[in-house]
Structure 1
């Protein structure tokens, strides 16, 4: 089976109702008297596929079926042996995790989930491999999982007793000078097409370092492109360039009926809209995406400093001053990234900017810095202010970064690893981490008004008394360009993001750990203590921002009212699309669209209410 015949077959096949009201095909099964299975099969069940069936799937996928064996098996019998020690060492290398079919970038979450390998995986290299796996899972009534980059705090890219579609090797990256989406008559535009297994660091290298263009991606370079786009997707400069979801021009996707479809603004537009922020692993298996690229600015810049206040009262004044300074000077398309409000009366500023030169940035920050300096009895710089500007084309150039700022970047340490297998040192803590707790909350721009600034500062100070509050300014689109706002409105992302100036994140994590694995168990008492502190911190922020919602890709496993929280008014439309194009719920992820119809593990269909 080859890709050309697949696409021809897709063109001739009847389209399901989720792709257009004039068509009837696979989704008609939902109207027949035969009800879908109420329980998916496990290896211990009589209905589990025979060895001969698995062998046929292996043949259909060109020998790419894997019987999954976790490298952690080395720890079961010898938890302190060299093989086990080496596994846990390498779990701080996100590229090692990426190349291990049994592992995910998060090892688990206290009292929520623990990473568990599938029974079998198809290491897909072609769209045909994905088609074969989807058909097999549907016909054999299996729990199906999709994994690309493996970055899912909520554990959506793993499930025990499942079949995994592993898109790691579908990582081609192709630049276009003039792309026109299939079925559209728009003007050709620069774009990049990436396979479902591509990650952002490699994509930036091709688009920016080599191609001299800009593509809107994420901050963590080892996150998968496909997963980020389907989750919404924010990067350092989202207030100017928008979300990754809004940059999507076209996707190729294998839907639950095993048919390959093209989704764009002109072909299957409902499905296309759902893929722009409706959540990964929900509507089908995306095999490739094409994203708009932009003209690259001349420079990108960075501002960093840490200020410590000598008292709680002084810290309150510092926060109020910074909130006012942000509103007057940084609440615009130039600025993004993070400011941390930390316990111990510390304000840690790590911001990125575009569209300004060094002189302009220095002048902009001078009044705030002078205010801090003049109050030396109240404040001290524990990390001196630094404002740096560099050529935009070198923003993700590994060789240039190693030469200019070697502490900022780390490399894949395995023998023979490609030179472009690099990642930000700031993301090291996320590699193989075990989550204690994670909460996020959109902060509305109304809190920046003059009569609300002191209330915002007070809430931040109270929250930080419990746990560090991260203010991700690039993950709120208030202050963005009109073009960015308009594009975001045409995605499935919660509309609350348009009126939010930042996403507040409160989280805690530890080194790689697995419950029940002797010598490598998490400290559950400490994890639960930190989780309680996180809940207290976010509770303070919810007092000033109630019911504003959360970001699906970075949120609590235990999110209450997740349908409204993640997608707001968009959820009914997303659920309608899900029910029409996947009526049997083949694609299930925790707190994904339609998941309320299933048990928490995705194996048992719940009774209709």
Structure 2
């Protein structure tokens, strides 16, 4: 029971092959799928059916049934409480006993309950020490494929508390930090329901992990029970999906929460289709990505990922399993499409639109201060680039670019300039005016521009694998409003704010994108309205020295939040940022991350989760809670208590 070894083995294999299960659907509507589920065999606690019904609990003894009762039923389990108004924490008298955890595992079946053993444990003296395994882990530690296969590993270690990282010194301590205490490897909706009911009835901190990509560490929490959705991989294809109260009719996929970008892109490609997902290979696109809005290489054509959702299956805080779409549970459906993950429930699958496949052209190039390129000319060339954001986004362009510090000065890196639906000649024509300006500034380079007949092969070849486990980095982002391109003065101010950060040594990462759905209007969902009024989503990151004290780290981060990030806010008043790639210390996160949607989102949160079963840093309603950390740094490494 509680085995972790098999996950270490899987993680070190780096099997990139898709494990997605595809089902060809004869029906063309969610109602048909729902009726099929309802007609399945009677629910049993062996969990072979899709979801848990109340009558199944009657087969258990009263004490056991009380652990898993749905919320509206009276339960015999004694109320659990810790000191004050905090969630129960390991070591508290009310923490579930080992026998209770064992009983939970038995009810879940398949040894689904996993007691956390940090992924880097083989690097530390003790029962798990293995020098060869540690060396393999260290060599691949920044590879997201490694961490996505582990039930609790988080890809943002600063929010895990920087504990138990790979090391060459096995005498150090390896502690859980903000890793959850237990994780449930869910393969059925019923297991999700059992986990939600158990956590709610026992007053445990509950978190949800899909792949662990969130920049603010939402997938972890000290002393928590985690629901690991990574293995919900089933995909159903609808050749002709339609439903009432939705204007969409056409191909669609019903996608399990654990399906990742590289998997769904490939499955769509096999059918001559594309779907709107992220640029990152290993992101779980039906988890926090789509629930938080989700920007995409197809964003300037089809809008946000959340705009593609046609239906969502979700387990709510009361343990019930329901469908939210344009006809039922419409407020919840509105909230789930942009209001953030780990907040309103556990989404188990999403039905999304699919679109015809298209050719793409991608161009990569870079230039750096040094040699014949002066600093003045470098910045003049970058300033010229900003002028083209409106016209390029109008052509459907999604440009992924960086300004990086090097030993000779800043480097501009385009990786890639992404031109969906464009030929090689058309892409070269789009780039030609700016390239001519760069040449006049004595900035020369040789772009690598390649045409692909389909989206998926181009995406796979063009976007770099994301680097994770950055132990000394804080990141924030901003959506720069279209008004900043309305006149030279406003755009110069934007340019100067970006230049100030880059010259100070911060890394700047930007995207050209306009997800305003110019031809069809924007759907009524909770996506931050700032997304509909931007030509650029831009991030910046600050570093400190690995091993710096907590006091230095905190001072560095506060200077970043209230210095460099404030410079960006000053030149983009009233705008916001992308909540999935954001600064956890962002002031007034309610407006910045959610905009005018926040008040309605908070009302829905109170309605569907009045007791705050679900909590995540900077999520809707999170202002009512705080994580009490020992060193004062923002992370999940501490007890969760009401403010």
Q: TM-score, normalised by structure 2?
A: 0.77
Corresponding residue of 1:71: 119
Paired with 1:493 and 1:336, the residues of 2 have a C-alpha distance of 19
Alpha-carbon distance in 2 for matches of 1:353, 1:510: 36
Q: Give ranges in structure 1 of 5+ residues lacking alignment.
A: 11-24, 402-407, 409-423, 514-520
Cα distance, 1:234 vs structure 2:
0.7
| 1-structure distance, mates of 2:617, 2:113 | 25
Aligned to 2:428: 362
Aligned equivalents of 2:296, 2:153: Cα separation in 1: 25
SS of the counterpart of 2:133?
helix
Q: Which residue of 515, 525, 534 maps to 1:491?
A: 525
Q: How much has 1:50 moved relative to structure 2?
A: 2.2
* Deviation for aligned residue 1:583: 0.6
- Please tell me whether residue 156 in structure 1 is matched to residue 218 in structure 2: yes
CA offset digits 1:255-282 (Å, max 9, x no partner): 1111101001111000001111111111
How far the C-alpha of 1:229 sits from its partner, in A, is: 0.6
Q: Quick one: distance in 1 between partners of 2:383 and 2:496?
A: 8
Of 503, 514, 517, the residue aligned with 1:465 is: 503
How far, CA to CA, are the matches of 1:368 and 1:44 in structure 2?
A: 62
Residue 265 (1) aligns with residue 326 (2): yes
| Contact 1:308/1:347 (<8 A) preserved | yes
1:570 is aligned to 2:601: no
CA gap 1:6/1:541 in 2 versus in 1, 3 angstroms: closer
Q: Distance in 2 between matches of 1:501 and 1:293?
A: 24
- The structural deviation recorded for 1:145 is 1.2
Q: CA deviation at 1:461?
A: 2.3
**CA displacement at 1:385 relative to structure 2:** 2.3
Counterpart-to-counterpart distance in 2, 1:523 and 1:366: 49
Q: 2 CA distance for matches of 1:527 and 1:496?
A: 30
Shift of 1:448: 1.2
Q: 1:36 offset after TM fit, Å?
A: 9.2
Residue matched to 2:378: 315
Deviation at 1:396, TM superposition (A): 6.0
Specify the alignment match of 1:454 in structure 2.
492
8 Å CA contact retained: 2:342, 2:615: yes
Partner of 2:41: none
Choose the corresponding residue for 1:292, options 353, 360, 363. Answer: 353
Q: Residues 172-224 of structure 1: CA distance to partner in whole angstroms, max 9, x if unpaired?
A: 1222112245x76866421111111111111111112x121110001101011
Query: Is the counterpart of residue 179 in structure 1 residue 216 in structure 2?
Result: no
Q: Is the 8 A contact 2:344 2:614 kept in 1?
A: yes
Residues 267-323 of structure 1, C-alpha deviations (whole Å, 9 max, x = no match): 1000001111111111111111111111112x1111222234534433343233222
Q: Does 1:387 align with 2:449?
A: yes
**Structure 2: segments with no counterpart, 5+ residues:** 1-43, 56-69, 164-175, 629-637
Residue number in structure 1 paired with 2:413? 348
1:346 CA drift (Å): 3.8
Match of 1:15 in 2: none
Instruction: Give 3-state SS (helix, strand or coil) of 1:272's partner.
Output: helix
Report how many aligned residue pairs link the two structures.
Answer: 543
Relative contact order higher in (CA < 8 Å, ≥ 6 apart): 1
Tell me the secondary structure at the aligned position of residue 570 of structure 2: helix
1:606 aligns with 642
Compared with structure 1, are the counterparts of its residues 525 and 36 closer, same or farther at alpha carbon in structure 2 (3 Å cutoff)?
A: closer
The yes-or-no answer on 1:439 pairing with 2:476 is yes
Structure 2 distance, partners of 1:566, 1:125, is 32
- Name which of structure 1's ranges 334-343 and 75-84 shifts more when overlaid on structure 2: 75-84
Contact persistence 1:102–1:116 (CA under 8 A): no
SS of the counterpart of 1:387? strand
CA gap of 1:585–1:253, structure 2 versus 1, over 3 A, is same
Select 2:515's aligned residue among 477, 480, 503. 477
Q: Distance in 2 between matches of 1:509 and 1:197?
A: 32
Q: 1:105 aligns with which of 155, 160, 181?
A: 155
1:89 aligns with 2:139: yes
Given that 1:36 and 1:584 are in contact with CA atoms closer than 8 Å, whether structure 2 keeps it comes out as no
Question: What is the TM-score of this pair, normalised by structure 1?
Answer: 0.81
User: Per the alignment, in what secondary structure is the counterpart of residue 354 of structure 2?
Assistant: strand
Is 1:39 aligned to 2:86, yes or no? yes
8 Å contact from structure 2 (residues 361, 458) kept in 1: no
Equivalent residue, structure 2, for 1:237 = 298
Per the alignment, in what secondary structure is the counterpart of residue 583 of structure 2? coil
- What whole-Å deviation, never above 9, does each CA across 1:500-537 have from its counterpart, x for those lacking one? 111120014699x8xxxxxxx57979967975785544
Q: Following the alignment from structure 1 to structure 2, what is the Cα–Cα distance between the partners of residues 60 and 397?
A: 42
Q: Secondary structure of 2:120's partner?
A: helix
